[in-house]
Amino acid sequence: MTRRSAAEARRRPAELPAGGERPTPRFRTYRAELPDVCPTDPTRMTFTADAEGRCQVFTWDAKTGVAEQVTNRPGGTLHCAIDHDARVWWFDEDADGRGHWRFRPFEGGEDRPGLQGVPDGAPRGLAFTSDGTVAVATAADDGTTVRIGPRGGRARTVTRIEGHAVLAGISPNGRHLAVSGPAGSDRAVTVLSPDGTVRAALRGGGHGGELWALGFRPVNGEDTTRADDHGVHHGDDGTELLLVRQHRDRYVLAVWRPGSGLRSWEWCAFDTEITASWYPDGGSVLVRQERHGRSLLHRADPRRRSVTIVPTPPGTLLAAAVRPGGDLHRLWTSASRPPRMLSTAGTRLPPLGTVDGSVPGDHREVWTPGPDGPVHSLLALPEDVIPAPAVFLVHGGPADHDRDAYDGVVHSLVASGFAVVRVNYRGSTGYGARWRRAYPAGVGLTQVQDLAAVRADLVRRGLVRADATALWGSSWGGYLALLAAGVDPALWRAVVAVKPVADCAAAHRTATPALRALDERLFGGTPETMPAAYARSSPVSYVSRVRAPLLVVAAERDDKCPPGQVRDYLRALAREGVRHEAMWLDTGHDGYDGRDHVAVLRRAIGFLDHELRRAGRRGPRAPAPGTRHT
């Protein structure tokens, strides 16, 4: 679980007709993802796209090339799926992110609740079998409940788990469900029967490292089980659950089978983070590796114990999946190329509605020496402006990374004459387990050191202006931007922090269970047991040192970076006379309304334009009192 804004916050909407043989809705995408495909008819798909400024669910018919809008919810709709009978599913949630699953036929018609008797909660997983059985997980009251039942019928409870958990899948025969908990805990993965009987509790942490469940093999082998007098099956029923295990700083595929337990594929190991999915025939696994800001694809064959490269252009795969019939769908992009959907079989996929052609700027990478190894940064320079005023666009997470991928904010900033620097500081993914664990100076403070080191390196190379560098971050990135403004006040000319953490202890008290667990892992305990560590890493502790003007964007319904601690930080800025602006959104942490993203983008670029380009060549300024709220 990470503190970060949704990916759509960094993609500029662009209007595009859906196309097809008859009139279809017009839609724009500010989220890029592969459509979900019906397992029994891969020409029927569902996906989310931007419809008049809000994210909504659409169907796509690959035979006709026609898109049809399914939802039109005022707050937008983000989560969708399609089952074996081509029923389209979406999560109908309120402004606080609580709701329930609904479905309707692909061709249209009345929508119905996915399962009866499921109280509203936050979505934590949805899974189907071919016979119409549905499993859902929802979170409420600091716990996650898994339920199962026939599509549209009455649900019954399988289990309730305290804290954060996610339904990872249901086996094709419906006899096993997999639930993922914290990856390093004693309940990293739990396998249950539909009646709630625990079949296996797979531990993470310790010598074995972390453990993640990815999904059940879609095609069963020979069923060798026998049923006793109570209808309980014994023995190996062909069920196979795919997992990833972090082991000795490597990421290894593993499988669990009833009767034989967990078995690692030591021959299928990688030095950086991976995710994987079964081929539809269950005979191979497609592995997507994130390495040094780019993506690699591999095919793992357990029968031959072999791993082969699947060719893909240099850049980033935002998603990849093999569809029935062997058609490989990929969503590819690079820093200079907007996302494109690719099909090896030539299947018509939905148009994305992003900008056409290449994007402006000189896109390159820089490696800066550091105490735990070189720090990798992606750099975009405007044309004919060197050295340039620079914006450090700080990624969220911390378990995330910036990619060689199109970013609408980068596009807008470079087109406005700014250089953009995206730093994969220590703690980022894509550089191995040791890099992800490297926090020698403390939480946040290590990352601030890396931002300062990259800034100094780029100034020394004559690529960016020393008197005109700014920070812009969202979520955990917003936290780092605020922290750097106080820790290194002489380095940064302006700061934009979107939905940030400003007080680590206060955020811990009111954030989600998953984020409280993340904080406790990073800090080594709670604010009560580690008060000094939380204080030393909190931006509010350094307010008196801040000199750069700030734009702080916060959300009234944010449960990850709660609004109360942001308000306290703004009051502290006012007491210290630090010039700042505040912008409040009536959303949660992850909003689905594109107009909010555009409003933040315009406000932030105008703020940076004033502070860096028009005022950038003036001498150092004393802090000025006053605030402006929107």
Scanning the structure block, which residue is given the tokens 């509010």? 540
Beta bridge partners of residue 274, listed in sequence order: 289
**Residue 230 pLDDT > 90:** no
Q: CA separation (Å) from 166 to 142, 162, 434? A: 13, 12, 26
Beta bridge partners of residue 585, listed in sequence order: 555
Lookup: tokens for 324 = 């029935």
**Residue 19 pLDDT > 70:** no
Interval 483-514: pLDDT, tens: 999 999 999 999 999 999 999 999 999 888 88
Please tell me the predicted confidence (pLDDT) of residue 107: 96
Interval 444-463: pLDDT, tens: 999 999 999 999 999 999 99
DSSP state of 593: B
**Which of 10, 605, 16, 593 is CA-nearest to residue 355?**
16
Interval 256-269: pLDDT, tens: 999 999 999 999 99
For range 204-220, the mean pLDDT: 82
Task: Write the CB contacts of 25 (distance below 8 Å, at least 6 apart in sequence).
Answer: 18, 51, 58, 67, 68, 69
CA 43 to chain centre: 27
Q: Give the ranges where 340-419 is alpha helix by DSSP (H).
A: 408-415
Interval 328-386: pLDDT, tens: 999 999 999 999 999 999 999 998 877 777 788 999 999 999 999 999 999 999 988 89
Q: In what order do the strands lie in the sheet with 294-301?
A: 274-278, 285-291, 294-301, 306-310
Residue with more model confidence, 18 or 512:
512
Lowest model confidence (mean pLDDT) among 16-20, 61-65, 321-325, 478-482: 16-20
Query: 375 and 368 in contact (C-beta within 8 Å)?
Result: yes
Q: pLDDT category, 614, cuts 50, 70, 90?
A: low
d(CA 168, CA 327): 24
Please tell me the predicted confidence (pLDDT) of residue 220: 52
Task: Write the CB contacts of 149 (distance below 8 Å, at least 6 apart in sequence).
Answer: 115, 116, 133, 134, 155, 156
Please tell me the predicted confidence (pLDDT) of residue 32: 65
Please tell me the predicted confidence (pLDDT) of residue 23: 26
Lookup: tokens for 22 = 């008859």
d(CA 579, CA 496): 13
Lookup: tokens for 600 = 């933040």
